[in-house]
Chain A
Amino acid sequence: MPLVLEKRAERSAFIAIASPVLAIALTLVTMSILLLALGKNPLMALYVYFVEPLTDPYSLMEIAVKASPLVMIAIGLSLCYLANVWNIGAEGQFIMGAVTGSYLAVVTNGSDVGHWLVIVMLIMGAIGGALWALIPAICRVRFGANEILTSLMLVYVADLIMDYLVRGPWRDPKGLNFPTTASFDPSATVPVILDGGRLHAGVIVTLAVVAVAAVMLGRTIKGFEIRVVGAAPRAARFAGFKSDRLVIFTFLISGALSGLAGIIEVAGPVGVLQPGISPGYGFTAIIVAFLGRLNPIGILIAGLFLALTFIGGEGAQISMKIPLDLTKVFQGVLLFYVLACDSLILYRIRLIGAQSKTA
């Protein structure tokens, strides 16, 4: 009895809601089997992964800190993806935002100029990221270059530019040639908003971004335009929406948000500009965007959930000696099931009976 996928006449509203639940359930089952194979108690492990971090204020703050850049970048990416614009280079825009924002911190180092500095840094970071994103946007609009390739390639360029700066002109003079800038002054640092942790003001900015994006997508013409151009380009043309302009617009917004996330990360939790400021946030955010179904609130939840698996994975390494690789397998399995289950929204599984076989 072979199985076939058959296209549904309409999207299944029930499956749209049930799919993430099913995906998580399947992930939990798969993980339990893997944990059993490793000789670990799956119940205990799942408790450490998902529940324990939520029971402790410090871990909760860390989840927010970890999720913040992911959510901010993913919001920008979701606008691109909704409009059928494939920005894969958020990592590079993140780095260039960090670099342009850090410029002020580096040149003012040692001269305490006042707290306006960090605000200007954040603005410059957003501009830096936006300009970096403008390059693939223009290449696509003017020359028809595939933005997937150009935006991705620019990640490596951005990486090398940062590398050059922290090894050369911006290197900490007291840092024994190590590739890092001097630690940022307090006036160049995003302030921590709660004592006893690293919860910083950038998290509030992220929440504001989520709110603005939700309103924009749901209640403005621009949001409508983005969705129409993505879903029905021909209809969009009839409506007078210019897709070229939208490519530029979504790239600019997405680049600005990635850049902002970059400078907040550097001026916040890291405190210096150095290679390795991003553990692949720009790429992980792609997962977050799709996990959140390109919906701002969904992205917020997906970002927090992914952050939870990072923090929980660390807890599992500490208290149960579960290897880090399993956390990565876990994230991969989750994404796999989410995408697999999503296909059930548009398709149904049908058993082909014995009759059709003989026919």
Chain B
Amino acid sequence: MKRLLMTAAAAALALAATAFNASAADKLKVGFIYLGPVGDLGWTYMHEVARQALVKELGDKIETTYLENVNEGPDSERSIVQLARTGHQLIFTTSFGYMDPTVKVAKQFPKIKFEHATGYKRAPNLGTYSGRFYEGRYIQGVIAAKMSKTGTLGYIASFPIPEVISGINATMLGAQSVNPNIKVKIIWVNTWFDPGKEADAAKALADQGADVLMQHTDSPAAMQVAQQRGIYAFGQDSDMIKFGPKSQLTAIVNNWGPYYIKQTKAVLAGTWKSEDTWDGLKEKMVVMAPFTNMPDDVKKLAEKTEAGIVDGSIVPFKCPVLGQDGKPIECKGGTHLDAGQILGMNFYVKGVDDKFPSK
């Protein structure tokens, strides 16, 4: 009896094993590595939304897999290798901290295509992509300066990396185009995602007289605080209107879907190349949520600013850009700062009332 049971169990296991080894052998397997949980409503959530869009578009030709909550330390390399070893031909690693592990794994698997978000190291089979989020920040600056009665904006910042610094600067330049005397208060929370800390920062900023909040962190906590306090805020990563129906002015929405579809099609067609993609409002990798809770004239101005950035008549980092000390920054791009200066930004523009962190 015992032996019979064991044989049956072994047979069942063997059957189980063959059943999934045989599944979907012909489809292109696309893998994703996520930093947070898919339900963070922020950065990872938007990658997940894009993955779902990809499945919807190419579901009959591809199969997708994601690994969520992948630590940026010792685990990420293994997670990427696991995807590579299980037949995934295209792998998106969606956080900056995966850069070195992705480079390493790409070297080990030269036939597999890798796409790394927000990094700067590339290889023949490793491309990079990111959004020009600072374009959206510029529009937010314009709106904020129009809407603020106190003339003080509150900014919840995560880490002093160039991406965040360029966001603060673009906001400031946009705001100054409306009100040259606008002030911004910055709180560094040193986290991407910590609703408790983000809410505390939002309350502190509101207490200091900021009546428009902006954030470079991922949770809707600040939006909820703004809603309670009856002040304004901007959403981050995704449209957060349901957390602040009376507060959200607009949101910067990360729209990765079209890019994922495009790159997957390229792999299917055999035309994929390693590139550095840095798209903005024009290519719709960065999208603004509807302009809400503002008078018509502000809305018109916001729309005009957006259209201007799309057609190139408005350039956020147009020279001369003045540094915090009032001296112009070297203009490497001719009429505006060049990509390297924005991607490696390590200075504040004039009018930012904050000491540049750890310089």
Contact = CB atoms under 8 A, between A and B. Distances in A.
Interface of A: 41, 43-44, 47-48, 51-52, 58, 62, 65-66, 163, 167-168, 171, 176-179, 183, 198, 265, 269-272, 274, 276-279, 311, 314-315, 317-321, 323-325
Interface stretch (B67-75, B149-157, B174-182, B306-314): B67-75
Contact of A318 (B13, B86, B160, B346): B86
Contacts of B71: 276, 279
A167 B85 CA distance: 35
Nearest to A277: B73
B77 interface: yes
7 contacts: A41-B16, A44-B19, A58-B85, A177-B162, A274-B97, A317-B67, A318-B82
B159 interface: yes
B99 to A, nearest CB: 9
Contact of B67 (A167, A171, A176, A324): A324
Contacts of A41: 16
Interface in B1-46: 12-13, 16-17, 19-20, 31, 37
B77 A198 contact: yes
B67 A314 contact: yes
A318 B97 contact: no
Interface of B: 12-13, 16-17, 19-20, 31, 37, 65-69, 71-75, 77-79, 81-83, 85-86, 96-97, 100, 120, 159-162, 165, 190, 343-344, 346, 357-358
Contacts of B68: 317, 323-324
Contacts of B31: 318
B78 A198 contact: yes
Contacts of A279: 71, 73-75
A268 to B, nearest CB: 8
A325 to B, nearest CB: 8
A274 B161 CA distance: 14
A177 B160 contact: yes
A43 B13 contact: yes
Contacts of A278: 73
Contacts of A178: 96, 159, 161
B358 A171 contact: yes
A178 B81 CA distance: 24
B172 to A, nearest CB: 18
A183 B103 CA distance: 13
A278 B72 CA distance: 9
Contacts of B67: 314, 317-318, 324
A318 B343 CA distance: 34
Contact of A179 (B74, B75, B78, B159): B159
B74 A269 contact: yes
A343 to B, nearest CB: 30
A269 B78 CA distance: 9
Nearest to B29: A318
B79 A314 contact: yes
A272 B16 CA distance: 41
Nearest to B9: A43
B19 A318 contact: no
Given A320-B20, A324-B67, A62 B74 contact: no
Given A176-B344, A279-B73, A318-B31, 14 more contacts: A47-B13, A47-B17, A163-B190, A167-B357, A176-B161, A176-B162, A179-B161, A269-B77, A270-B73, A276-B72, A314-B79, A317-B66, A317-B67, A318-B86
B2 to A, nearest CB: 16
B90 to A, nearest CB: 14
A44 B82 contact: no
Contacts of A265: 73-74
Contacts of A179: 159, 161
A66 B81 CA distance: 14
Contacts of A324: 37, 67-69
A168 B190 CA distance: 14
Contacts of A271: 100
Nearest to A196: B108
A284 to B, nearest CB: 12
Contacts of B120: 176
B69 A318 contact: no
A279 B78 CA distance: 14
A44 B16 contact: yes
B358 A176 contact: no
A314 B88 CA distance: 14
Nearest to A61: B78
A103 B19 CA distance: 51
Contact of B16 (A47, A66, A270): A47
Q: Find the residue from B16, B78, B96, B161 having the highest chain A CB count within 10 A.
A: B78
Contacts of B81: 58
A43 B12 contact: yes
A276 B19 contact: no
Contact of B86 (A163, A177, A311, A319): A319
Contacts of A48: 20
Nearest to A317: B67
A177 B343 CA distance: 11
B243 to A, nearest CB: 23
Contacts of A317: 65-68
B159 A43 contact: no
